Amino acid sequence: QLQLQESGPGLVQPSETLSLPCTVSGGSISSGNHYWGWIRQPPGKGLEWIGSIHYTGNTYYNPSLESRVAMSVDTSKNQFSLKLTSVTAADTAVYYCARLGIGGWELDYWGQGALVTVSS
Amino acid sequence: DIQMTQSPSTLSASVGDSVTILCRSNHNISNYLNWYQQKPGKAPQLLIYAVFRLQSGVPSTFSGSGSGTVFTLTISNLQPEDFATYYCQQTYSNPLTFGGGTKVEIK
């Protein structure tokens, strides 16, 4: 059974960089031609798409965040990562990683989510 | 960006009821429409993809329909575990966007 797990600091200082890895187990990140994505959810609010990455390094970012977002893949660790620079309180959210299905990019496997709070 | 609009935002129903949630897009998204269920404190889970295809393990009391710009999720014979928030999502074009959510609560 495929499992995804986000990890990282729960608290980030304003103007600094948020870094979150997502470790995949039960399957290889470089098999099946899947994209791997990031979604966030501010407390009490809806879901926002951040972007996705293929193991080859090809990426799609949400234009609203593109100037501050970078995603990467480390196939040796079976892991993909999110970096979000110059964070503000508006970036406080639960960050989810997920796998995109091949056919229609549905999000068929999700991590449990990691709450990241931006505060001094 | 393609905008996804769900209605209602909140829905009150009883166990055993059937309910329908509407999702509209402001652009033709063909059949690139998915539905997710989210319970408090948990990650969303895929229910339906490509408009009507049930994800493995999802009971047949869930069904989806629609095409183009108007889509529905129907839950028949509501069970206690079905009270949750539901989101539609288009995967026709980037950025992939979600509806605002519909909370199904116990009447």
pLDDT digits (tens, 9 = 90+) for B59-100: 999 999 999 999 999 999 999 999 999 999 999 999 999 999
Would the pLDDT of B6 be above 90?
A: yes
B96 CB near a chain A CB, below 8 Å?
A: yes
Is the pLDDT at A9 greater than 90, yes or no? no
Asked if B32's CB is within 8 angstroms of A105's CB, the reply is yes
What are the φ/ψ torsions at residue A89 (nearest 5 degrees)?
-60, -25
CB atoms within 10 A of CB B91: 23
Q: Which are the contacts of A113, defined by CB distance < 8 A and separation ≥ 6?
A: A6, A41, A94, A95, A96, B43
Cβ-nearest to A106 among B91, B95, B97: B91
Contact A4/B at CB under 8 A = no
Using alpha carbons, select from A26, A106, A4 the residue that is nearest to residue B54: A106
List of chain A residues whose C-beta atoms are within 8 Å of the C-beta of residue B36: 47, 107
Cβ pairs bridging A and B (under 8 Å): 64
Which residues, in sequence order, are CB contacts of A108 under 8 Å at separation 6+? Answer: A98, A99, A100, A101, B46, B49, B55
Q: Do B34 and A104 touch (CB under 8 A)?
A: yes
Residue B104 in this model has a pLDDT that exceeds 90: yes
The DSSP symbol for A44 reads T
* Both structure tokens of A66: 């593109």
